[in-house]
Amino acid sequence: MTDVSYHEFDKLDAEQRAALLRRSETDLSGVIEKVKPIIEAVRMEGDAALVRFARDLDKADLSAGGLKATEAEFDAAFDQVEDSVVEAIKFGIDNIRRFHEEQKPEAMWLKEMRPGAYAGDRFTPIRSVALYIPRGKGAFPSVTMMTAVPAVVAGVPELAIVTPPAPDGSVDAATLVAARLAGVETVYKCGGAQAVAAVAYGTETVKPALKIVGPGSPWVVAAKRLLAGVIDPGLPAGPSEAVIFADDTVSGGLAALDLLVEAEHGPDSSAWLVTHSRRVAEEALAALPDHWAEMTEQRVAFSKAVLTGPYGGILLTPSVEESYRFVNDYAPEHLEILSTDPFAHLSHITEAAEILMGPHTPVSIANFGLGPNAVLPTSRWARTFGPLSVTDFVKRASIGYVTASAYPEFAAHARTLARYEGFSSHERAVSDVRETYLRGER
């Protein structure tokens, strides 16, 4: 049997425990150096660089005129995708839209802070956003659904998808179906670091955007970091990661089944089963070969690379409290609480971007359309970021309005603090000088 990484937490020293928290994107120094010339080439050469990188990196045959998906390609996609897949996409989009419509903030609110003085917020959509849809290790119409729907709900007027082309220069047909059904008709055939550079700087074909969202490889993550001064990189979403927390009320075979879900994304993913039950840990270990026997060769290779390497495996803790502590330290992208009473554990988990409760809520259901967004912060960023949401596609402006009757009280306090802080113009702006202008005496 393949040697799955198996750790007993109380037998690890501090350095070994810290190593369990690492992800493949933790150290991007080597990738960043490789990404820099790609970014510069796109900035200087535009479409020509995108075509060259499509050929050299994606092994795709593109001409400069083929960088954008045509209306005919969109139309043809509906004939290429099975009806059942189209229906699954529609089902997911409907749920995702319902969820994000509830999340959408009201356009403006004002509260009377004092009699005659009002303050509040106004929300307006970001003018232009690019949606990154990965393809290197598969096709992901679900990511299109998760990024496009909240952006459309938010009312972003200029939306575009960037996604790597296939060798024949095509875009994944289901991605085009999901894009159109969600309300996005602009799709550019470029991926990786070059796609991030393209939407940051713009090219002859690709329109620049103010923000880019969506998960990607370490190359995409590195490009976002390097271009953060040019384009808003959105929440930090890198290679997939999951923690399956299991107590003694569930089958270890079930835990192993769910452990493989995010592990099969690619060898740079992270996936841990965390349990304080030795029975569950041993059952999971024993069940993995049977699960692998039913998976496709590529996904077996990916998940074995994860579960036998430094970024995944099975962790047996000495107590449920230690399991909670590890989960919170890890701050996973996806967390499953596998238990017949998941709510008994929920209050102990504070650091996770997505928490899926009970044996009937696997990551698969959440990824494909339960409603909450499955584009999530990775690499411990769940400690400060939440899931992609409508609010990622809008900007907030504070609104203030003080009436003539409320002005004197506010002005008096403002003068006091302005004088204390040494700002003479601040003080004059609420002094008798203003009064003479308001009375029309100046």
- Containing 186, the helix (H) or strand (E) segment is none
* pLDDT number for residue 359: 97
Listed residue (390, 23, 9, 53) closest to 213, CA to CA: 390
Task: For residue 334, indicate whether it is catalytic.
Answer: yes
Which residue has 């393809």 as its token pair? Answer: 135
Residue 324 confidence (pLDDT) above 70: yes
Split at pLDDT 50, 70, 90, the class of 315 is very high
Q: Are strands 211-213 and 128-132 parallel, antiparallel or unpaired?
A: parallel
What percent of the chain has a predicted confidence (pLDDT) above 70? 98
Give just the sign of the alpha carbon dihedral 303, 307, 308, 310.
Answer: positive
* pLDDT number for residue 137: 65
Other Cβ atoms closer than 10 A to 341: 12
- Which residues are within 8 A (CB) of 280 and not within 5 positions of it... i.e. 6 or more apart? 246, 247, 248, 250, 251, 252, 255, 273
Q: What are the pLDDT digits (tens) for 366-380? A: 999 899 999 999 999
Catalytic residue among 264, 334, 336, 427: 334
Other Cβ atoms closer than 10 A to 163: 27
Which residue has 């000495």 as its token pair? Answer: 318
**Spatial separation of the C-alpha atoms in residues 307 and 39, rounded to whole Å:** 33
Listed residue (233, 239, 213) closest to 28, CA to CA: 239
In sequence order, the β-bridge partners of residue 245 are 274, 337
**Spatial separation of the C-alpha atoms in residues 10 and 315, rounded to whole Å:** 10
* pLDDT number for residue 237: 86
Task: For residue 291, indicate whether it is catalytic.
Answer: no
**Spatial separation of the C-alpha atoms in residues 312 and 259, rounded to whole Å:** 9
Check if the beta carbon of residue 287 is closer than 8 Å to that of residue 252. Answer: yes
The whole-chain average pLDDT of the chain stands at 95
Q: What are the pLDDT digits (tens) for 350-399? A: 999 999 999 999 999 999 989 999 999 999 999 999 999 999 999 999 99
**Spatial separation of the C-alpha atoms in residues 78 and 95, rounded to whole Å:** 21
Catalytic residue among 25, 262, 283, 333: 333
Distances (CA, A) of 254 to 205, 246, 334: 48, 10, 17
**Spatial separation of the C-alpha atoms in residues 159 and 103, rounded to whole Å:** 20
DSSP string, 379-407: TTGGGT-----GGGGEEEEEEEEE-TTTH
List the single range of 8-12, 29-33, 312-316 with lowest mean pLDDT.
29-33
Q: Read off the amino acid at residue 422.
A: G
Average pLDDT over every residue of 138-159: 95
Split at pLDDT 50, 70, 90, the class of 2 is low
Q: What are the pLDDT digits (tens) for 186-231? A: 999 999 999 999 999 999 999 999 999 999 888 999 999 999 999 9
* pLDDT number for residue 150: 98
Other Cβ atoms closer than 10 A to 257: 20
DSSP string, 309-326: STTEEEEE-SSHHHHHHH
Q: What are the pLDDT digits (tens) for 11-59? A: 999 999 999 999 877 678 889 999 999 999 999 999 999 999 999 999 9
* pLDDT number for residue 182: 98
List the single range of 26-35, 52-61, 239-248, 426-435 with lowest mean pLDDT.
26-35
Q: How far is Cα of residue 315 from the mean position of the Cα atoms in its chain?
A: 26
pTM of the model as a whole: 0.91
Q: What are the pLDDT digits (tens) for 269-289? A: 999 999 999 999 999 999 999
Q: What is the 3-state secondary structure (H, E, C) of 200-220?
A: HHCCCCCCCCCEEECCCCHHH
